Structure 1
Amino acid sequence: MAKCKAKRKYEDEHRTFLEEWEDAFFFIEQNGKALCLICNTMISHFKASNLQRHFRTLHANIDKELPKGTELCKQKLSTLKSQVKRQSQMFQQLTKHGETVTLASYKVAWNIARAKKPYNEGEFLKQCFADVIETLAPDY
């Protein structure tokens, strides 16, 4: 009886993103996947054939308009990369703001539980809102 070979797994191939793919196919690495800078599509496997097929089938006009190695092509690539960077920074700021709002609500809940008071007591709520302001706007 012959032994069956185990299937190869993608994780075992140890593929890495190559910097030359940025210039050739307008892809960058983001969160362990290849991101197309033109259409924001994620390709999960770092294989030149996958990136090339995506670029040739969906963005053939870009290849004709911006010949590889020209200054215009490099300028377009840097512009697209900076747009992706600004977009990710904006999302990080929104996430951080959401985390601070959640933290502020936890502080209010903590004060309520610790004081064993209802919401309608004035001084108690004043202290709760002071904690909220301290969390959301520390320099205020």
Structure 2
Amino acid sequence: MAENKTKETTASVAEFLNAVADETKRKDSFRLVQIMEEQTGLEAKMWGPAIVGFGSCHYKYESGREGDMPMVAFSPRKAEITLYLMQDPVEKEKLLANFGKYKTGKGCIYVKKLQDIHEDVLREMITSAVGYLKTKYCASIS
């Protein structure tokens, strides 16, 4: 079984975000830290070199693959901000209907800037994602 490359690190979240070149993306990233900390009650930590995660979940899929991942996370990528919010697919579709401007990919949600989305829906999505992981995948949570 391949080992997860993305692990929690001791790197500084603030240093990482302060290095984001685009001013809007940098400000949005600091705002996302505030929103995610408020919604989860968990402190922001770096996961790998470019993901800001909240909490830690030890998962074990039916396939036997297991590892650790953040409960919720984001990454300020060059083109967009990537949101990692694993949710029940039906609940996710309901919430995305009122989310604002976004794109989706393999389990990720991509937004250009926070101004394009509804913060209250984002907060619901964060809470939904944490609840989903706790009941569906996480053998242990910290």
Q: TM-score normalized by structure 2? A: 0.28
Bigger radius of gyration: 1
Ranked by relative contact order (alpha carbons within 8 Å, sequence separation 6 or more), the top structure is 2
Q: Which has the higher helix share?
A: 1
Q: Which has the higher strand share?
A: 2
